[in-house]
Structures are given as C-alpha cells and as structure tokens.
Structure 1
C-alpha cells in the first residue's frame, strides 16, 4: 500500500505503536465532558514521547491539548490518531506552527468520520456478519461464531491499520478532497442504503412469529389465524415487534430491559397457547 511507503523507520515505529494502542481507546471513559480522551491520549502517547523527547514542556502541553472531548467510531478513529501524530511532529519541529489547529481539526473530523464508521461497520458489516453467524449457529454449526468474528474483524483491523498510516501521510487534505469531489456524500448514502436493506432482510428472515390460535368451525376444519395474517401481510407481526423495539430504543429505554420484555412476552404467549 502506498500509504505505508515514504515513511521513515522511526515514524513507522510510532505509527505501529499507535495502531496497537488504538484497541484500548474505549477502555476508559472520563465522564460526559471528556468521554474517551484518556484512551486517545494513551493511543497517541508514542508520538509525544518521540517528537517531544527533548522538550518536556512541549510534551506536557501536547498532553494538555488532548484532554478535550473525544469520541469517534474506533475502526476509523485511527485516521485522526495518525493525523494528530503528524501535526504534533510539525508542531515540535516548527515554532511558527499553531498547535491549536491540531485540536480544531481533530474535533471537526469527529462527526464525518463517525458517520462513515457507524454506517459501514455498525450498520453494514456487523449486520452481515451477524446474519451469517446466526444463520449457521441456529443450525448447530461451530462456524457461526467463527465466521461472525472473521467477517467483522478482518476488515475492521485492516481499516484501522491503514487509516493510521493514511492519517499520518495524507493528512487533513484527504477529507477535504472527498467533500470537494462529492465522494463523502455518495459514500454515506450508499452505506446507509445498504444498511437499511440488510436490517430489513434480517427482520424478515430472523424475527419469527407463528400463531397457534384458531377459530373452531362446527363440522369443518378450524380457521387458523396465522393463515389470514400471512394473507393480510406476511411478516406483519415480526415487523411490528421490530418497530416496537426500535421505538423503545428511541425513547432511551435500556436495551437489556427490551430484551427481557421480549423474553417474558414470548414465554407468556407460549404458555397461554398463542404461539
């Protein structure tokens, strides 16, 4: 990959250490005002140690700069980590460089990168991986959890690695060029559309409801309620259940309570003979 070329051995060591440390970025949380700032500081600390090794005061100021709020989808956040490392190197070498621009650019990239990262990794790749994994696991295959981990983590780790180098070598012009060319808008639209399609497919195939209720007919076969539900709108009840869970999530109801509620409802409906 071109992004890993033309990087000095010293800088490669710094970037690789940032890459490995980036896996811990969400391991700590410093409240609502700073969120994952401690994890970010730990991840980019190799850059501070290398570029400010002869400047203790510069090292201290660099750490203070990055105590501000930080929260980006971790699989794409390494782009900002590489970018910050590159800019801190410039700040250490050039007295005329404005260090406040580092935080400004980092903050400005949080929204766009999180939008892309959430759409691709949470909305598409994770859904595809879960769909394949659950399908195989429901058949009793050990490949279910294995494929889930591989399908999600291989692209996630590769993206994390190369974006660290890309942030260091390409810098802030990358996002600006994507906006100018319209690629950013196209990428967001494509990822969102694909994510909605996958969620719709999973709802139709994995949320099951089969009613046992019937209307007895004297001298004839009973009328099965499920048959008429399917004729009215196949998959109507699973869709309503999914939309109901989504509505509860939008009202900030804890997901564990929603899961518990679905479990209790299923048990009750099973005991009274509805399903």
Structure 2
C-alpha cells in the first residue's frame, strides 16, 4: 500500500500536468448518456494509473468515473483534484467508502457550475467581448487578440490552481472526515443532493406532455392538467425511469434512442403527445 501512495507523490508534477492538459478535452465527448463522463475518465487516468497497480482495481476505477458528470469546463479541475485525492486514499485504505467518490462528484456539479457559469460565461466573456468588439469596430487588430487574452488567461490560471487546491483540500479533508466520522454523513448528504439534482434535471431537460382529453357530461378534462395536479413532470419522470430500466437490462443506448424516435412518431400520429 505504501508503494502505491509514493507513486503519486514522486510523480505528482507530471501527473498534475497530464490531468491539466487533458481537462481541455472535457466537452469533446459530450453525449446524452453520461454527458462529460468519458472525458472525465480520460482526465482521471493519470491518477488511476499512478495509484492502482492491479488491473482489476484500475478497471473498477475506470467504471466508477464513467458515470454521469456535467460541469463548467473552467472549474472541472477542482473535482478532478478531489477525485484524485480520494482515489489515492482508496488505494491505501482497505476500509475506504468507495461510494463516497461519486457522491462527492455529484454534489459538486450543480454548485460549482453555477459559480463557473456566472464568472466565465456571464462576466469574463462579456467583459472580454465588450473590449474586443469596441477595438475591432475601430479597425484595431488587437480587438480579437485582447478578447482571447482577457478570457483565456483567467481560464487557464483558474484551471491550473484549482487542480492543486482540489487535490490538497481533498486529502486533508478526507483524513479529518474519517477521523471524526464525518465522511459517512457527507456521503449520505451528497447522495441526497445528487438525487435532487437529477430530479431537477429531469424536470427541466425532459419535455413530454400529452394532449389527451376526455369529456364527462358537459365538462372536458385534459389528462395533462390532471397529471400536473398529481405531480409536476410526472410523464418525464416515467419516461426517464423507463430508459434507466432498459439501460440496467443492458439494452444499448442507440437502440433506446431509436425506440424513442419511433414511439414519438407513433404517439404524435395518433395525437397522444
């Protein structure tokens, strides 16, 4: 166990460098199954290969980090650092709670994305674009150059320092959390928060409503209004859980997508949705 832990200590700078540069590929493999999950795993590979010597341990870690993940690219290095630190702890402590790794990741997605979007999309980009456009309108060739510099310098620096901050804070925090029993509480709370985020994402991103209505006497009832009174987003929830059940039965995502398209066409043809 001690040899595994020393591996990442001795080559820490090299590992950080690999993770940092790989983090720029975060949105390159974005998909509707696990969003940035594939790219997050690619970024984590230097950590995984450094701390795990057994093939089965590396495979288990790879599967772990293929789970759904979606965050503002500028601050992804913070959860990468924390996850790397937690994987190191897992490699050196047989009683480590493995489920806490993904629980912490899931709990960080929403809050960090809110901060990242506000600063980088809502502030730095707008300011940089305003300065760049004002110069470009006057025919100054420095306009686009300044735009790129003003946006990307904070972007690069943030990603670089957050990686080390996440790794250092992660290691110290995990050690203290295990000593006082806080890790179990955090894992449970993070899991609950992650489920809340998934529920909110289903409601905001999955659009499904029925147009079915029926008449009883002089009154006309719309099925969608009745369902909304029972539970907002009832049909999107049922559809999402159905897709999840099919995935658990090892049915490929491509087949599910094709099935959704065919079913959508049939239901639209009969004016059900």
TM-score interval for Structure 1 and Structure 2 normalised by the shorter chain: 0.5 to 0.7
Distance 2:143 2:123 in 1: 18
Task: Provide the aligned C-alpha RMSD in A.
Answer: 1.8
Q: Is there any run of 5+ residues in structure 2 with no aligned partner, and where?
A: 1-7, 178-273
Distance 2:106 2:119 in 1: 21
Distance 1:102 1:93 in 2: 15
Structure 2 SS opposite 1:141:
coil
Matched, 1:20 2:21: yes
Distance 2:100 2:133 in 1: 46
Distance 2:166 2:64 in 1: 19
Quote the residue 1:59 is aligned against.
58
Quote the residue 1:152 is aligned against.
151
Structure 2 SS opposite 1:106:
helix
Structure 2 SS opposite 1:112:
helix
Q: TM-score, normalised by structure 2?
A: 0.59
Q: CA deviation at 1:93?
A: 1.1
Q: TM-score, normalised by structure 1?
A: 0.58
Structure 1 SS opposite 2:89:
helix
Distance 1:152 1:160 in 2: 13
Quote the residue 1:4 is aligned against.
none
Quote the residue 2:12 is aligned against.
11
Instruction: Give matches, 1:168-247, under 5 Å.
Output: 168-171=167-170, 173=173
Quote the residue 1:85 is aligned against.
84
CA radius of gyration, larger in? 1
Distance 2:89 2:152 in 1: 33
Structure 1 SS opposite 2:29:
coil
Structure 2 SS opposite 1:26:
coil
Structure 1 runs of 4+ aligned residues shifted over 4 Å read none
1:100-140 deviation per Cα after TM superposition (whole angstroms, max 9, x unaligned): 10000000000010000000000000000000000000111
Q: CA deviation at 1:9?
A: 3.8
Matched, 1:103 2:102: yes
Q: Is there any run of 5+ residues in structure 1 with no aligned partner, and where?
A: 1-6, 177-275
Paired residue total: 167
Distance 1:171 1:123 in 2: 28
Distance 1:138 1:70 in 2: 40
Structure 2 SS opposite 1:84:
helix
Matched, 1:162 2:196: no
